[in-house]
């Protein structure tokens, strides 16, 4: 399968499946409680376990009423995507592949047909997140409440909210199918081709235009941003039902807070070697590792003695045969962790113990 990023209603395509981004072509708590933007609230998988069908329906309807006002439609040129109201100042978080290279946007709130102008605050393609801001925020904006990603559990009921195929305020339902997935996006068509770790896999349907929308639990908390859907190459890119991916809430709040406060990201929470690299090929022209092109002074690789020309072939127990494999391996690790890096220098196999640094802008 392939992955596509259902961003704007012009789909992009990439993992071991084939992922599609959901853009380019939510979730607030009960009315009595409105924590500040980016506040992590504990997720209680057992707290919203209705006993009967009517109770479950009531729970769905309550969550939709709570969250949908926090989910917006974003128009970029002739492309459509979704976003989530982050605070009452007009900041909206979405996917980087939704905004692409644009700096000006029109936004439609869920409870209004009037379009509002917005401008780019900042974008961080490495985590496929971006923030835009309404130029004249209306009163009554309803910021979403973000859940605690560490509490997300397999089998939790989820609702995906956004504007699939331009149908604003749409909702689909499913469950959390898996957590801690590391997924590589396809590159092109507005998608930055990021490799993102710790993603939430859901069976809730995610379609083009859903990117940047909210993946929500039954406590009316956003547990992720809808980002990727799987497609099946053997069926000419038709959707693979029930396989979608969302960036977790902890990543969203970390990146968004930095973009709002300083316009850039200096601490992504993602591990980095502090190198520039490219795929290395052997004499048979087959991918055979990631060759270091440059080493950042003072970075993790420099401290471990790695040099330009070294070909990385392994990170810990994970073989590395390409730049993409290296990026994927690093996405599953955390800054500050120690890892054995296998590499070749002048044809001789060597190892180095590396304390990983943090990926930030320009890292």
Blockwise average pLDDT, block size 10, the chain, 363 residues = 53 39 43 39 48 84 96 90 97 95 94 92 94 95 94 96 86 95 78 82 90 96 93 66 92 96 90 94 93 95 96 96 90 92 96 91 40
Residue 68, pLDDT score: 95
Q: Note the pTM of the prediction, 2 decimals.
A: 0.78
Domain 271-358 has CATH 3.40.50.300: no
- pLDDT for 29 equals 32
Amino acid 3: pLDDT: 63
Q: Is 211 a catalytic residue?
A: yes
| Residue range(s) of every CATH 2.40.10.120 domain in the chain | 2-254
Give the separation between CA 23 and CA 110, rounded to whole angstroms. Answer: 17
pLDDT of the residue at 111 = 82
Please give the pLDDT value at position 46: 44
Q: Let me know if 97 is a catalytic residue.
A: yes
In sequence order, what are the residues at sequence separation of 6 or more whose Cβ sits closer than 8 angstroms to the Cβ of residue 66?
A: 27, 28, 29, 30, 31, 220
d(CA 360, CA 124): 9
Which residue is listed with tokens 């960036």?
247
Kindly give, in sequence order, each residue whose CB lies less than 8 Å from that of residue 27, ignoring residues fewer than 6 positions away. Answer: 63, 66, 67, 70, 71, 84, 144, 145, 146, 161, 214, 216, 217, 220, 221, 222
Q: Are 358 and 269 in contact (CB under 8 A)?
A: yes
3-state secondary structure (DSSP) of residue 24? coil
Rounded to whole angstroms, the Cα distance separating 144 from 134 reads: 16
Q: Six-digit token pair at 359?
A: 């990926």
CA–CA dist 207, 5 (Å, integer): 9
Instruction: Quote the Cα angle for 131-194-314, to 5°.
Output: 145
Query: What is the model's pLDDT at position 168?
Result: 82
Q: How far apart are CA 175 and CA 154, in angstroms?
A: 8
In the structure encoding, which two tokens stand for residue 124, read together?
Answer: 């961080």
The residue length of the chain stands at 363
For residue 242, how far is the Cα from the chain centroid? 18
CB 268 within 8 A of CB 256: no
Annotated active-site residue in 66, 87, 126, 128: 128
pLDDT the model gives residue 193: 76
CATH architecture assigned to 2-254: Beta Barrel (2.40)
CB 4 within 8 A of CB 234: no
User: Can you tell me whether residue 353 is helix, strand or coil?
Assistant: strand
From the candidates 28, 211, 268, 280, give the one annotated as an active-site residue. Answer: 211
Buried b (16+ CB within 10 A) or exposed e, 122-140: bbbbbbbbbbbbbeebeee
* Helix H or strand E encompassing 247: strand 238-248
Start-end ranges of CATH 2.30.42.10 in the chain?
Answer: 271-358
Q: Which of 27, 28, 87, 97 is catalytic?
A: 97
């Amino acid at each position: 399968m392939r992955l596509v990023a259902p961003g704007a209603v012009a789909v992009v395509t990439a993992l071991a499946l084939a992922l599609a981004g959901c853009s380019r072509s939510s979730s607030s708590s009960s009315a009595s409680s409105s924590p500040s933007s980016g506040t992590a609230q504990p997720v209680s998988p057992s707290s919203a376990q209705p006993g009967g069908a009517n109770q479950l329906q009531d729970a769905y309807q309550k969550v939709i009423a709570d969250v949908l006002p926090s989910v917006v439609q974003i128009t970029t040129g002739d492309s459509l995507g979704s976003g989530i109201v982050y605070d009452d100042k007009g900041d909206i978080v979405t996917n980087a592949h939704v905004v692409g290279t644009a700096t000006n946007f029109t936004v439609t709130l869920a409870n209004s047909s009037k379009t509002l102008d917005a401008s780019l605050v900042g974008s961080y393609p490495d985590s496929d997140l971006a923030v835009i801001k309404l130029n004249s925020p209306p009163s009554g904006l309803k910021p979403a409440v973000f859940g605690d990603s560490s509490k997300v559990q397999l089998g939790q009921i989820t609702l995906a909210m956004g504007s699939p195929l331009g149908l604003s305020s749409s909702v689909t339902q499913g469950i959390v199918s898996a957590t801690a997935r590391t997924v590589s996006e396809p590159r092109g068509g507005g998608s930055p081709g990021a490799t993102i770790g710790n993603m939430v896999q859901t069976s809730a349907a995610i379609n083009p235009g859903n990117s940047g929308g909210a993946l929500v639990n039954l406590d009316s908390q956003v547990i992720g941003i809808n980002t990727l859907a799987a497609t099946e190459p053997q069926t000419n890119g038709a959707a693979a039902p029930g396989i979608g991916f969302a960036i977790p809430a902890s990543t969203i709040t970390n990146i968004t807070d930095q973009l709002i406060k300083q316009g850039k990201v200096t601490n992504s929470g993602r591990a980095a070697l502090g190198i520039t690299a490219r795929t290395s090929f052997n004499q048979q022209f087959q991918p055979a590792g990631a060759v270091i092109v440059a080493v950042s002074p003072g970075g993790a690789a420099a401290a471990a003695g790695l040099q330009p020309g070294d070909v990385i072939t392994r990170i810990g127990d994970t073989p590395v045969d390409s730049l993409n494999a290296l990026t994927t391996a690093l996405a599953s690790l955390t800054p500050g962790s120690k890892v054995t890096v296998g590499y070749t220098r002048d044809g001789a196999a060597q190892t180095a113990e590396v304390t990983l640094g943090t990926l930030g802008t320009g890292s």
